[in-house]
Amino acid sequence: MRILVTVKHVPDLQSQRSFTEGRVTRSGDDGTMNELDENAVEAALQLVEAAGEGEVYALTVGGPDAVAAVRKALQLGVHHAIHVSDEAIADSDVFGTATVIAAAVRKVHEEAPLDLVITGMAALDGLTSMLPTALAAELDWSQATLASALSVADGEVTIERHLPDAHETLVAPLPAVVSVTDEANKPRYPNFKLIMAARKAPVAQWSLADLGVDASAVGKAGARTVVVDASPRPAKENRVKITDTGDAGTQLADFLIEKGLA
């Protein structure tokens, strides 16, 4: 079983996230591996452990600091790490990012075939949840998204997906792109031995040229969408905080009535 997991480097949720000149501020200190990609790593490790053989690759696309995301994946136990970085990738939209990731997946797949690519359900900065579908389409592989459970047998992956109107079981032939939700598993913690090993583990560094991707197809040059303005929202004014001394419910109701909300 050979699986590639995509992991994104994102600003820490607990930090003060911001934009600088229309671009997400990404500093090494406040950046981490997207929390939801821990579920993708866990799913891949569990499948390989269950199969008793196989390898897991972690792949990130991003600036120099993004290497931290694949280091984190190494700490969790993946076997190989790849960091695709190139100045021309900056300001990519979903489709540019998918083009780059697809090219990197093909490169690994050509060395020895992959069975699955597993992604998180969303990156907690862009939050579009579009990348898994765009990647499956780019690769022309089958697609099984938003898996809250998954299993592999007989050349097929079977997933459960919980949509607002229905719970579905979906079967897709391999190779497939699967995205997993945070319900799919409980991510493990890195252990000391792996943390030490991860420091020294090699990380393959690939540029667009290594992937044969035309720079004009990605980054700002290829982007179909561009952020023209980003500004912090003003703090709310006139906020009220009261402590219940017996009539807070009435005060709350009066607040709603006055606002025309009740």
Ligand X SMILES: Cc1cc2nc3c(=O)[nH]c(=O)nc-3n(C[C@H](O)[C@H](O)[C@H](O)COP(=O)(O)OP(=O)(O)OC[C@H]3O[C@@H](n4cnc5c(N)ncnc54)[C@H](O)[C@@H]3O)c2cc1C
Residues 36-55 interacting with ligand X (rule: CB under 6 A): 36-37, 40
Q: Would you count residue 219 as binding ligand X (CB under 6 A)? A: no
Shortest Cβ distance from residue 205 to other proteins (Å)? Answer: 28
143 C-beta neighbours (distance < 10 Å), count = 16
Residue 230 or 262 having the CB closest to ligand X: 230
**φ/ψ of residue 254, rounded to 5:** -65, -35
Q: Give residue 26's identity as a one-letter amino acid code.
A: R
Q: Would you count residue 125 as binding ligand X (CB under 6 A)? A: yes
Q: Which does 8 bind (CB under 5 to 8 A by kind): other proteins, ligand X, none?
A: ligand X
Is residue 222 within 8 Å of 96, Cβ to Cβ?
yes
Of 40-48, 60-68, 72-80, 223-231: span binding other proteins (CB under 8 A): 223-231
Q: Which does 6 bind (CB under 5 to 8 A by kind): ligand X, other proteins, none?
A: ligand X
Of 49-57, 108-116, 126-134, 203-211: span binding ligand X (CB under 6 A): 126-134
Strand duo 23-24 + 19-20: pairing = antiparallel
Shortest Cβ distance from residue 77 to ligand X (Å)? Answer: 17
Q: Would you count residue 61 as binding ligand X (CB under 6 A)? A: yes
Neighbour-count burial of 25, counting CB atoms closer than 10 A to its CB (0-12 exposed, 13-18 middle, 19+ buried): middle
- Quote the CA–CA distance of 73 and 205 in Å, as a whole number: 16
Q: Is 88 left (phi over 0), alpha (psi -120 to 50) or beta?
A: alpha
Residue 39 or 85 having the CB closest to other proteins: 39
Question: What is the footprint of other proteins within residues 135-194 (CB under 8 A)?
Answer: 137-138, 142-146, 158, 162-173, 181-183
State both tokens at 29: 């200190």
Neighbour-count burial of 58, counting CB atoms closer than 10 A to its CB (0-12 exposed, 13-18 middle, 19+ buried): buried
Of positions 126, 149, 201, 204, contacts ligand X by CB under 6 A: 126
- Quote the CA–CA distance of 97 and 82 in Å, as a whole number: 15
Residue 2 or 179 having the CB closest to ligand X: 179
- Quote the CA–CA distance of 82 and 80 in Å, as a whole number: 7
Give the H/E segment covering residue 179: strand 176-180
Residue 50 or 242 having the CB closest to other proteins: 242
Using CB under 6 A as the criterion, which residues of the chain lie in contact with ligand X when the complex forms?
6-8, 24, 34-37, 40, 60-62, 92-94, 97, 119-120, 122-123, 125-132, 182, 225
